[in-house]
Amino acid sequence: MKEILKGHIVHAPALGQLEIIEDGYLVLEDGVIAGIYSQLPGEHADGKMHDYGDRLILQSFADMHLHAPQYPMLGMGMDLPLLDWLDTYTFPVEARFADTEYARRVYRRLANELITNGTTRVCMFSSLHTDATWVLMEELEKAGVTGFVGKVNMDRNGKEGVYQETTEESVSETLRWLEGCHFDHVKPIITPRFTPTCSDELMAQLGKIAAEKGLYVQSHLSENRAEMAWVLELHPDCKQYWESYHKFGQWKDHTVMAHCVHSDASERRAMREHNVVVAHCADSNINISSGVCPVRQMLDEGIWVTLGSDIAGGQQLPMYRVITTTIRSSKVRQMMDDWKTPFLTVPEGYYLGTTAGHKYFGGGFAVGDALHAVVVDDGNFTESTRPLSINERFERALYMMEQRNIISVWSAGRCVVGR
Ligand code: GUN
Ligand code: FE
């Protein structure tokens, strides 16, 4: 089927680049972008028209790191640093997801909040629980959220008897979970929580499963100084944190590592050499006092940086807000670096929250890609002193928009919210 979206089209094809097609036409063939035009070619005049008038058609958002079972603790418990925060607040909340009915209620609401805020792709952590993880995948699929979900693995340093598996359980439940993953748009990803909660035996088995089944891996890296010191105590043979993943075959192409706040030049080189993806989580890094990540430096070094809300270390899901926090955080970094490091511009922040993440799933906003887009109505914003350019309206939308401004969401070529 041929469809046409008409409106002001804005997307970021490369870092720092913004492409704006004012009063443009986006032509879809069976949900796949066939062309983007400022004048509709006659051969496409027969398509079904979605006329969005004076509204903005933006590429949708990709949240490359978040914890679904932490949704109930959103906006709470920000007074402790990472390791105490996990132990005191997080593990008890995640343990609640042994109850699949509870999981269903929470995850349905989470999936709805994601999609109505224009997050159409995710790379997400579930809890230890196989059944609740399937429920999560089902609810995302139903809502139109696509991407990867991981059943979390942890066989040590959790809460014994409350929130921890044996090594055998962790492996056999991972295999059982993988067997039951039959979703069209939501796929499994191997998810050791982080090195301190996974024994060597478990890490080795997970590396093997990932290799045998051709699966990607996601975890956490160098988020907090105490965490990093603990990893080196647990792995005296490793000089750096990243080696504790590398040792077990998990440091490889498309491995997503959240945070990386304190990764030094040599750890960053290892990322670049193995095409490991950074999920930068600016809200969380500030909330639980982890640090201010040197994102500009990473980008200059050619590292693949994406963004994550990291709820509930992060306090909010909407990626348009995560993007602006990322920009603010880069300005704090500039101040910390004696004003030497340039901050991230709006087009750069937008690129990181959209294209950089979408690339992970093999698509973008180009001919041949399934459409992932949001339509933004900025008509209720304060009247400006003069007519604004599309570029100005785009910037203001990123900083000011709320869920109610998103009138339509397209995910994997389908209109899943609005019309
Ligand atoms: N490291 C290990 N687990 C977690 C988690 O749930 N959140 C964050 N921010 N870091 C982690
Ligand atoms: Fe996290």
- Whether 179 is covered by a domain: the verdict is yes
Which pLDDT band, with edges at 50, 70 and 90, does 398 fall under? Answer: very high
- Whether 205 is covered by a domain: the verdict is yes
- Is the four-CA dihedral 196, 198, 199, 203 of positive or negative sign? negative
End-to-end CA distance of the chain: 16
Task: Give the structural domain span for 172.
Answer: 61-353
Whether the CB-CB separation of 88 and 77 falls below 8 Å is answered with: yes
Residues 89 and 156 placed together within one structural domain of the fold: yes
Please give the Cα distance from 71 to 265 (Å, whole number). Answer: 34
The pTM assigned to this predicted structure is: 0.98
Q: Which residue, 330, 353, 376, sits at the end of a domain?
A: 353
130-143 and 167-179 helices, crossing angle to 10°? 30
Q: Which residues pair with 401 in a beta bridge?
A: none
Residues 376 and 337 placed together within one structural domain of the fold: no
Q: Which residue, 306, 329, 353, sits at the end of a domain?
A: 353
Identify the residue whose tokens are 């359980």.
169
Which pLDDT band, with edges at 50, 70 and 90, does 218 fall under? Answer: very high
Identify the residue whose tokens are 């909010």.
316
Residue 83 CA, ligand 1 centroid: distance in Å: 8
Strand ranges across the sheet with 119-125: 61-67, 119-125, 146-150, 186-188
Residue 284 CA: which ligand is closest? Answer: 1
Which pLDDT band, with edges at 50, 70 and 90, does 352 fall under? Answer: very high
- Whether 358 is covered by a domain: the verdict is no
Please give the Cα distance from 179 to 188 (Å, whole number). Answer: 10
Q: Which residue, 301, 327, 353, sits at the end of a domain?
A: 353
For the chain, how are helix, strand and coil distributed in percent, rounded to 5?
40, 25, 35
Q: What residues have CB less than 8 Å from 210, skipping those under 6 apart?
A: 190, 216, 217, 249, 250, 252
Residues 126 and 270 placed together within one structural domain of the fold: yes
Residue 141 CA, ligand 1 centroid: distance in Å: 25
Please give the Cα distance from 413 to 372 (Å, whole number). Answer: 7
Pocket probe mutation, ligand 1, options 64, 74, 193, 220, max atoms within 8 Å of Cβ:
220
DSSP string, 318-368: -HHHHHHHHHHHHHHHHHHTTT-SPPPPHHHHHHHHTHHHHGGGT--SSTT
Residues 154 and 246 placed together within one structural domain of the fold: yes
Whether the CB-CB separation of 43 and 16 falls below 8 Å is answered with: no
pLDDT tens across 27-55, in order? 999 999 999 999 999 999 999 999 999 99
390-400 and 319-336 helices, crossing angle to 10°? 90
Residue 333 confidence (pLDDT): 98
Residues 121 and 207 placed together within one structural domain of the fold: yes
- Whether 396 is covered by a domain: the verdict is yes
Residues 274 and 392 placed together within one structural domain of the fold: no
Residue 50 confidence (pLDDT): 98
Indicate the DSSP class of residue 401: -
Cα 26–chain centre separation = 25
Residue 262 CA, ligand 2 centroid: distance in Å: 15
DSSP string, 135-198: HHHHHHHHHT-EEEEE-EE--SSSBTTTB---HHHHHHHHHHHHHT---SSEEE-BEE--GGGS
- Whether 50 is covered by a domain: the verdict is yes
Q: What percent of the chain has pLDDT over 90?
A: 100
- Whether 66 is covered by a domain: the verdict is yes
User: 7: part of which helix (H) or strand (E)?
Assistant: strand 2-11
Nearest CA among 248, 245, 178, 185 for reference residue 215: 178
Residues 323 and 399 placed together within one structural domain of the fold: no
Atom of ligand 1 nearest to the CA of 94: 6
Here the tokens at position 161 are: 């008897």
Residue 347 CA, ligand 2 centroid: distance in Å: 25
Q: Which residues line ligand 1 (CB under 6 A)?
A: 67, 82, 86, 90, 193-194, 220, 223, 284, 310, 313
Residue 41 CA, ligand 2 centroid: distance in Å: 46
- Whether 158 is covered by a domain: the verdict is yes
- Is the four-CA dihedral 244, 250, 255, 258 of positive or negative sign? negative
Please name the residue whose Cα sits nearest to atom 8 of ligand 1.
313
Residues 51 and 172 placed together within one structural domain of the fold: no
Residue 83 CA: which ligand is closest? Answer: 1
| CATH code of the domain containing 50 | 2.30.40.10
Arithmetic mean of pLDDT, 223-251: 98
Residues 232 and 301 placed together within one structural domain of the fold: yes
Residues 111 and 96 placed together within one structural domain of the fold: yes
- Looking at every residue in the chain, the average pLDDT score rounds to 98
Please name the residue whose Cα sits nearest to atom 11 of ligand 1.
220
Strand ranges across the sheet with 218-221: 218-221, 256-259, 277-280, 304-307
Residues 230 and 88 placed together within one structural domain of the fold: yes
The domain total for the chain is 2
- Whether 236 is covered by a domain: the verdict is yes
| CATH code of the domain containing 281 | 3.20.20.140
Nearest CA among 19, 3, 12 for reference residue 51: 3
Pocket probe mutation, ligand 1, options 76, 80, 82, max atoms within 8 Å of Cβ:
82
Nearest CA among 54, 26, 13 for reference residue 407: 54
pLDDT tens across 66-114, in order? 999 999 999 999 999 999 999 999 999 999 999 999 999 999 999 999 9
Atom of ligand 1 nearest to the CA of 310: 9
Residues 297 and 368 placed together within one structural domain of the fold: no
Here the tokens at position 52 are: 């969005």
Atom of ligand 1 nearest to the CA of 197: 2
Residue 186 confidence (pLDDT): 98
